Amino acid sequence: MYKRNILVCAFLFTSIFTGFAGSAGASLVVAQAQGNDQEFRQLLEQGRQLVDRGDYESAMRIYQNAAQMRPRNGSVHSGIGILYVKQNNYSAALSAFQRAIALEPNNADYHHALGYLHGNLGNLPAARESYRRAIRLNRNHVDAYLGLASVLTHLGDRQGAAWSYQQAEKIAPRNPRVAEYRSFIMNH
């Protein structure tokens, strides 16, 4: 039973973060490029193209160069974190998102990502706090509510998990990840 719950939670963590990584990914970095530096923007575009082709190692080199050019750009560090996630290097991704949060502490998406990473690394109390922070910053962050529900379920807080799931369902009743979680609840 315990192993099955871990597998289910891992599935939920993965499906919840997939929404973040898929939609935020490299396009977030390009969209939030600070300044008018043409070389910097070209570098980010080149990195995005490499990500689209699945060449994560080359994209990582490009984003690390961009981070050297603009070390105070949180979205570049977020992009690096997403690349680490795509390579299943959660510890390195955690560090990258912590840098992004240090630069942009009020970015709910970064806190959501941190929750996902803490969850995958087995630090459920830290995951819970990161998801809660994401929700405080953005009360409509469906994936943060679902992530929190998953963590609370694993921690044995069924009442808290039910509340968090209900909030997600109110915000986005047709969201496929909400339906996945509904199915999970009905089977447990």
Burial class (CB in 10 A: 0-12, 13-18, 19+), 53: exposed
What pLDDT does residue 148 have?
Answer: 98
Start-end of H helices in 32-73: 38-52, 56-69
Give residue limits of the domains in the chain: 2-186
pTM across the whole model: 0.80
What pLDDT does residue 13 have?
Answer: 47
DSSP 36: -
CA angle, corner 109, sides to 107 and 115, nearest 5? 110
Per-residue pLDDT of the chain (188 residues; tens, 9 = 90+): 443 343 334 434 444 454 555 444 444 444 444 445 788 889 989 999 999 999 999 999 999 999 999 999 999 999 999 999 999 999 999 999 999 999 999 999 999 999 999 999 999 999 999 999 999 999 999 999 999 999 999 999 999 999 999 999 999 999 998 988 877 766 76
Q: Which CATH architecture has domain 2-186?
A: Alpha Horseshoe (1.25)
* 61: Cα separation from own chain's centroid: 21
User: For residue 179, what are its two tokens?
Assistant: 């339906």
